[in-house]
């Protein structure tokens, strides 16, 4: 288990292997007003770019990611450029489920395995089963592997062994997805299991223990969860704003030098402007709420 992944008592320990995709590599910068094309739209990802030599037609994939063996279903839906690498898709999945990405992953579609570079390097000596084909996840574009209506499995953490079904629901032309960055969240359901909880079975036990104060593991589960920076535990919680916030933070982290001013006074001014924008947005939302509940008309509707 990675150093900052706290293990739930009784759950299996992690591998301790750390991903080797270089942070920031393969992220496409976007400068508003600089005549950037759709190809320059930023991606919020840290995976390496695909090997040169092939470019797919422009477009965006709508992806649904469902955590396997969990009931009720835990899922996320988001948009991602169809010609991003599978390593970038892995990064998007890790952000969507709020996992650290410090443990290894791989994709599988039939006999094709798309491996995390760290997994690929450390296990190159392991004999392959007949018919297996292993390729680096950084070397394949998503649309080389998946077409609309197709799916593959994503595996993360070789101890907890999370499996996610990744399905491409549809292809969207770039002009119909005018978002300022990619990936962008469209929806989801339920809280993402914390890392170190012991996989799907461990999470089921954890949820039961947390919901039943008389369970022998309740106190232990509560003490373990209190060590995590997650806040109050609610297995039904999902917030699309939080998910898009995580995507946006990944983008900002990847382009901090380009996006943030160097001068401290300029940074303070930027923070004030952003806070003012947020307060203004909250005030407008409150006005809309009052209009709906109390019949208070916004001034723009007055004659």
| Chain segment 162-217, per-residue pLDDT in tens | 999 999 999 988 888 777 778 889 999 999 998 888 889 989 988 888 888 888 88
Of residues 283, 287, 285, 286, the one with CA closest to residue 275: 283
Asked if 182 and 83 count as a contact pair (C-beta separation under 8 A), the reply is: no
Query: Using CA atoms, how far apart are residues 211 and 214, in angstroms rounded to an integer?
Result: 9
Give the model's confidence band at 53: pLDDT under 50 very low, under 70 low, under 90 confident, else very high: very low
17, 104 Cβ separation under 8 angstroms:
yes
Kindly state the average pLDDT of the residues 129-156. Answer: 87
Instruction: Identify the band that residue 271 occupies on the pLDDT scale cut at 50, 70 and 90.
Output: confident
pLDDT band at 55 (very low <50, low <70, confident <90, very high): very low
The CA distance from 66 to 53, in Å, is 32
Average pLDDT over residues 61-65: 95
pLDDT band for position 115 (cuts 50, 70, 90): confident
Mean pLDDT, to the nearest integer, of 54-60? 61
Contacts of 270 (CB under 8 A, 6+ apart): 260, 261
Rg (CA), the chain: 21
Rounded Cα–Cα distance for residues 167 and 250 (Å):
23
What backbone phi and psi angles, to 5 degrees, belong to 38? -60, -30
- Name the phi and psi angles at 191, rounded to 5: -70, 145
Sort 98 into a burial class: Cβ within 10 Å, 0-12 / 13-18 / 19+.
middle
User: 63 phi and psi, to 5 degrees?
Assistant: -115, 135
Q: What is the pTM of this model?
A: 0.70
Residue 64 has pLDDT above 90, yes or no: yes
Location of structure tokens 């995390």: 116
Is the confidence at residue 135, as pLDDT, over 70? yes
16-43: pLDDT as tens digits: 322 333 233 333 332 233 333 334 444 4
Range among 27-31, 43-47, 134-138, 276-280 rated most confident:
134-138
In this predicted structure, what is the pLDDT of residue 233?
81
Range of weakest confidence among 75-79, 85-89, 256-260, 293-297: 293-297
Are 202 and 8 in contact, with CB atoms under 8 Å apart? yes
The mean predicted confidence, pLDDT, of the chain is 74
Tokens in use for 133? 């084909």
pLDDT tens digits for range 214-238: 888 888 888 888 876 666 788 898 9
Beta-ladder partners of 188: 76
pLDDT digits (tens, 9 = 90+) for 81-107: 998 899 999 999 999 999 988 888 899
Percent of the chain with pLDDT over 70: 67
Q: Domains for the chain: give ranges and CATH numbers.
A: 1-283 (3.10.290.30)
Is 152:37 a contact under the CB 8 Å cutoff? no
CB-CB neighbours of 52 under 10 Å = 6
Q: What is the pLDDT of residue 253?
A: 76
């Amino acid at each position: 288990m990675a150093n900052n992944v706290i293990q739930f008592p009784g759950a299996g320990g992690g591998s301790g292997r750390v991903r080797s995709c270089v942070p920031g590599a393969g992220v496409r910068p976007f400068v508003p007003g600089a005549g950037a094309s759709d190809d320059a739209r930023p991606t919020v990802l840290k995976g390496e770019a695909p090997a040169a030599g092939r470019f797919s037609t422009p477009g965006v994939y709508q992806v649904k990611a469902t955590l396997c063996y969990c009931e009720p279903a835990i899922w996320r839906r988001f948009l991602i450029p169809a010609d991003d690498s599978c390593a970038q898709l892995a990064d998007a999945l890790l952000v969507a489920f709020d996992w650290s990405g410090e443990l290894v992953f791989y994709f599988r579609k039939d006999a094709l395995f798309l491996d995390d570079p760290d997994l690929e390097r450390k296990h190159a000596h392991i004999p392959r089963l007949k018919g297996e084909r292993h390729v680096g996840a950084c070397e394949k574009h998503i649309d080389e592997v998946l077409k609309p209506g197709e799916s593959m499995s994503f595996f993360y953490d070789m101890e907890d062994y999370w499996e996610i079904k990744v399905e491409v629901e549809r292809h969207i032309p770039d002009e119909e997805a005018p978002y300022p960055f990619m990936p962008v969240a469209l929806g989801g359901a339920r809280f993402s299991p914390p890392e170190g909880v012991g996989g799907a079975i461990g999470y089921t036990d954890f949820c039961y223990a947390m919901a039943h104060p008389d369970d022998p593991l309740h106190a232990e589960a509560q003490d373990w969860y209190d060590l995590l920076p997650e806040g109050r535990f609610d297995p039904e919680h999902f917030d699309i704003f939080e998910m898009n916030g995580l995507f946006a933070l990944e983008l900002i982290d990847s382009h901090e030098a380009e996006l943030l001013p160097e001068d401290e006074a300029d940074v303070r001014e930027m923070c004030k402007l952003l806070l003012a924008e947020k307060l203004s947005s909250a005030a407008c939302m409150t006005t809309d709420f009052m209009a709906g509940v109390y019949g208070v008309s916004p001034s723009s509707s007055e004659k």
